[in-house]
Amino acid sequence: MFKVGVGFDAHRLAKGRPLIIGGVKIPYNLGLSGHSDADVLIHAIIDGILGALAMGDIGTHFPDDDPAYKDIDSMVMLEKVMGWVKREGYVVNNLDNTIVAERPKLAPHIPGMKKRLSNVLETLPNQINIKATTTEGMGFCGRGEGISAIPIISLEKQV
């Protein structure tokens, strides 16, 4: 039995914040603004997993007004969600992600993202795909105001 979930997240770029995407700190003069570390990719993946499990969304489980999640490493939240995946008897079958960002160039950082994700999701790196694209100057991502991410995840029931 398979379950599939789609996620989405977007964060504004802001001065004075580190840029962390997919658990990787990326050198850049701007970072993502948010209550936690604002890792847009991890937040979107969490939403996709929660969707596949029919468990609501990230804001339900990790509210942005809860001080416990202030500046938290999003990988910690993903580890907790993976505990729920296991509790329900599932494993990650595959994960496909698209990150939308005009700048910085993300291609050099994708192998590190895949490595971090495969460790937490307990998958092989070839079960994870990460693509980075631009919107050719259109919209908030294209104007360099923010970054968004869209994953689709497949969970497989263990027998």
What's the pLDDT score for residue 159?
Answer: 80
Which spans in the chain are helix H?
Answer: 40-52, 58-61, 74-87, 110-121, 139-142
Q: How many Å apart are CA 124 and CA 103, to the nearest integer?
A: 28
With both helix axes pointing from N to C terminus, report the angle between 110-121 and 74-87 in degrees, rounded to the nearest 10. Answer: 40
The parent domain of residue 11 ranges over 2-157
Q: How many Å apart are CA 65 and CA 59, to the nearest integer?
A: 9
Q: Is the pTM of this model over 0.85?
A: yes
Report pLDDT digits (tens) over 35-81: 999 999 999 999 999 999 999 999 999 998 999 989 899 999 999 99
Q: How many Å apart are CA 45 and CA 146, to the nearest integer?
A: 18
CATH code of the domain containing 74: 3.30.1330.50
Domain count within the chain: 1
